[in-house]
Amino acid sequence: MRARVDVGQLATLAGTVGVVERRVDTETAAVAGAVGVLARTGGAGACAAVSLAAAARTEALAQLAALRTVVALAADVYAGVEARVVALVGARPAPPRLGRLLAAAQVDDLEALLVAAPALAAAVAAGATSSPGVVDTLTRTLLLPPAVAAREQARTLGRLDPRERRLLALTEPGLMTALVGAPASDRFAASRVLVAADLSRLLQRRALVGAQPRLDARIAMRRRLLDDDVVLRHPDGSTTRHRHQLLVFDPEGDGRVVEVLGDLQRAEHLAVFVPGTGSDLDRYPGSLARMVPFAAADPALAVVLWQDADHPDAPFDDPPPPPDELARPGAAQRYLREHVIAAAYRDAADLAGPALAADVAGLRVALAGPASDLTVLGHSYGGSIVGSAEAHGMVVDRVVHVASAGAYVRDVADYAAPSVERFAMTAYDDPVRLAQGHDAADSASRLRAMLPAALDPLAPAVAGAAVAVVPAPAAIGHGLDPDLLPGVVRLDTGVHADGRLVRGHSGMFAPDSTAWRNLLAVMTRGRVEVLQPGLWSSHLDPLGVDTHLPTGRTDPAVQVHLPRYVIDRTPYSDPGYRAPTLDLGSR
């Protein structure tokens, strides 16, 4: 089955969008003028409201113009892609001498050689060295819808014997890691070649520029991925070791990586975890360390750590461009949107969600074995990515929003499968609550809550000014508060082993906590502890100034604190409190 795209229809659609764009502009011009007058003459509240309305109109027109351009370009791009695929299939050169030599090697020896000789791995990764027939067939599947592609890939690869398939993985590693329907073991082998190739690139760079802390750290990380074992320490005191099992490795940009923890051959439960803002290849070891204890806790569980997309940057991850570049039209707004407040926007989730949905569809095909169920979890911005994946067709057994930025949608009916079991947990003092369920439209009320009472009258004007300054305010926000999704089971974050409350944005990843045990129980269909919201309360403490007298000093110290949530009441003040439980295995 081929994906069918009518280039002529795309061109017609581009023209239709242009007609709609012009009609919206014409029909709303008078309203826009009236809004401008009201903004100049009305009160502060009116100013904020009409400024937002005017910005929304401008943004709608800009989006229509962009859509018209994108659709027109899509026709050209798709035609170009088809032409390249046809050329690849019809005129692929014969494998070079290197390919013939590699094809004659023993696959086990070849894998060891490529990992031990990064320069050779780089040469292999850079050029086609396999049978063009199989490669061409598999390349064409990349144009198919994800689930169809995964099945076609599995069928094509299933006709090869294990040696041929592994040789293909080692000599066409970039292609093999892109095949979501390929056997996991072959994608692991292909990824090792890609890691070795990237190590070669980094070593060459260091030979040119010398030792640099960031470059040396990246070299060390690649070597760990190739040489170190992942150690799983089980509750009974035993340990198991396995090499890093990467399904995807791509160092371009911020980097993409997907790793399996645990034994897929034995796993009865599969969990896919999506981390949040700032997740990139450099920070990957931190995310990995969070997931290892889950995989170690139950041999029947395999965990997939998913970073196969461009997550939003943490603020100022990338420094601002030089002043002359920043002064160019739109440059400051782009930098603000993409590198300072990127996590406020749905941009990354718009793109990452379909990618996650495609990868999950592939996992369901490739891992159709002992794993009986699948849970997908998203932490922080990762929750919005998971919501986007659901809106773009992902269907799994359970979804967990972990201190999630938002559900991505405004109505659970917008998900592909509204009846999926959904869970959520957020600590009562987690600052992510400032964002959950909010967007630019309610910025005035949110500012009023976060500013000292004396500054309340300024909130509408400040909100209106902020909406006017930030790029594309209509794209800010992540949909519904995940804790308030219809039918969601709210999980108790609880306490640590020493009785301290689980607090903050990432406290639930401490293995001694109620929250951590709840996450594991969802992954393995165990017994979870359910939140009783009526027994908890908190309040938002606005921006303020604290003073205290340090020991040994006579003058007080002054410290400004940002808006924060303060927990007022919790059932855990009673040492005998036990949250109600729910047995997921009986559902």
DSSP 86-114: HHHHHSPPPP-HHHHHHHTS-HHHHHHHH
CA–chain centroid gap for 111, Å, is 31
* Cα Rg, the chain, nearest whole Å: 27
Split at pLDDT 50, 70, 90, the class of 534 is very high
User: What DSSP state is assigned to residue 493?
Assistant: -
Residue 239: φ, ψ to 5°: -135, 150
pLDDT at residue 90, rounded to an integer: 37
In DSSP terms, 527 is beta-bridged to 583
Q: Is residue 54 over pLDDT 60?
A: yes
Pick 561 or 92 by higher pLDDT: 561
Residue with tokens 């070669």: 200
Cα(first)–Cα(last) distance of the chain, in Å? 38
Can you tell me the mean pLDDT for 135-154? 90
Segment 235-280, tens digit of pLDDT = 999 999 999 999 999 999 999 999 999 998 889 999 999 999 999 9
Q: Is 242 helix (H, G, I), strand (E, B) or coil?
A: strand
The three-class DSSP label of residue 526 is coil
**52 burial level (CB within 10 Å; 0-12, 13-18, 19+):** buried
Whole-number pLDDT of residue 2: 34
CB-CB contact of 217 with 209 (8 Å):
no
The span from the CA of 536 to the CA of 381, in Å, is: 25
CA 314 to CA 236: how far, in whole Å?
39
Please tell me the predicted confidence (pLDDT) of residue 147: 83
Q: What is the pLDDT of residue 21?
A: 64
Report which secondary-structure segment, H or E, holds 378: strand 373-379
Residue 87: what pLDDT? 42
Poorest-pLDDT segment among 18-32, 217-231, 450-464: 18-32
> What's residue 4's pLDDT?
42
Average pLDDT of the chain to the nearest whole number: 86
Confidence of residue 376 (pLDDT cuts 50, 70, 90): very high
Q: Kindly report the backbone phi and psi dihedral angles of residue 116, in degrees, each rounded to the nearest multiple of 5, phi listed first.
A: -80, -20
Q: Which amino acid is at 70?
A: V
Residue that is written with structure tokens 């390249």 in the block: 84
**Best CA proximity match to 444, nearest among 23, 34, 7, 52:** 52
Say whether 547 sits in a helix, a strand or coil: strand
The Cα–Cα gap between 206 and 477 comes to: 42
Least confident of 14-18, 193-197, 200-204, 277-281: 14-18
Distance CA 145, CA 141 (A): 8
Closest CA to 353 of 300, 423, 407: 407
Q: For 322-346, what is the mean pLDDT?
A: 90
Residue type (1 letter), 554 = T
**Over 60: is that where the pLDDT of 522 sits?**
yes
Maximum distance among all alpha carbons in the chain?
84
d(CA 297, CA 274): 19
Structure token digits, residue 309: 């997309």
CB atoms within 10 A of CB 16: 12
Name the amino acid, one letter, at 381: Y
Residues 6+ apart with CB under 8 A from 146: 180, 357, 358, 361, 362
- CA–CA distance, 425 with 439 (Å, rounded to integer): 21
Question: Residue 318: pLDDT above 70?
Answer: yes
Give the confidence band of 88 by pLDDT, cuts at 50, 70, 90: very low
Residue 130: pLDDT band with limits 50, 70, 90 = low
Question: How far is the C-alpha of 525 from the C-alpha of 541, rounded, in Å?
Answer: 38
